[in-house]
Amino acid sequence: MRLARPVHPLAAATAAAVFLLAGCGGGGGGSKDDKIDGAGGSADKSASPSKSDAPAEGDAADFRTSDIELPDDVKLVFDWKQPSDEEKAAALDGAADYLRVVRRGMVKDDPDDPVLAEHTVPLQTAAEYATHMRKQHAEKNYTVTGSERLYKEQVGEPVDGKLVEVAFCSDQSEIFSKEIKTGKVIRNSATDDKNFVRFSVVMQKSSSGGESWKARSVEVTEKAVKQCGK
């Protein structure tokens, strides 16, 4: 994977919500068996319905649409299936928007961007990770360009009606950092295994009601060949 990597790992906000920086710039291990704050168990591995079986528009949140704006040269391709369960669908939709928020920050570099607060739980590791990724690219005067494919989604069972673990893979072989001033795309060499990244995000149902879910904690596993290899 060819996005800029952070200089050092970022500490977790709480011991119960540890995450490993990886993916679009991070190092660290982790395994798919690691548990995340409030998840209550591993993600549901049962197959989701096909898109043709997805709820009708308005019945449930849909990860395939979003009002979060990204530049034309940044594409997030969600190769996911829509869950029939409305709460799972809303949690998956929130996880998709969380990744959009992370990438938006790496492009926009606006510390006061309200979109981050709208899609993350304050003072938790999901927000901390997004902020770190924004700062990392800003310090290097980088933005992002290319296409990132998200696949192998797993949506866990809701815990206490308010927490859902969403895990998914990212193929980052076609997304790159780019110098803002020159427009030069940074295509530094990377082994194939570094293109496979596994995200595990704990989504929390909004306390204000409705179907919106916000990202609470995140764990990112780099070189996730076992979990994400084709």
What is this structure's pTM? 0.76
DSSP tag of 12: P
Is position 206 within any domain?
yes
Average pLDDT for the chain: 78
- Around Cβ 38, how many Cβ atoms within 10 Å? 18
Is position 9 within any domain?
no
Q: Identify the domain containing residue 98 by its residue range.
A: 15-228
CATH number, domain containing residue 176: 3.10.450.50
- Around Cβ 14, how many Cβ atoms within 10 Å? 12
> In which region does residue 39 sit, left (phi positive, over 0), alpha (psi from -120 to 50) or beta (all else)?
alpha
Contact 78, 93 (CB under 8 A): no
User: Which tens digit of pLDDT belongs to each residue from 114-170?
Assistant: 999 999 999 999 999 999 999 999 999 999 999 999 999 999 999 998 999 999 999
Is position 98 within any domain?
yes
**Residue 62 has what pLDDT?**
86
The total number of structural domains that make up the chain: 1
Residue 124's Cα: distance from chain center in Å? 14
- Around Cβ 181, how many Cβ atoms within 10 Å? 6
Is position 87 within any domain?
yes
User: Which tens digit of pLDDT belongs to each residue from 72-117?
Assistant: 999 999 999 999 999 999 999 999 999 999 999 999 999 999 999 9
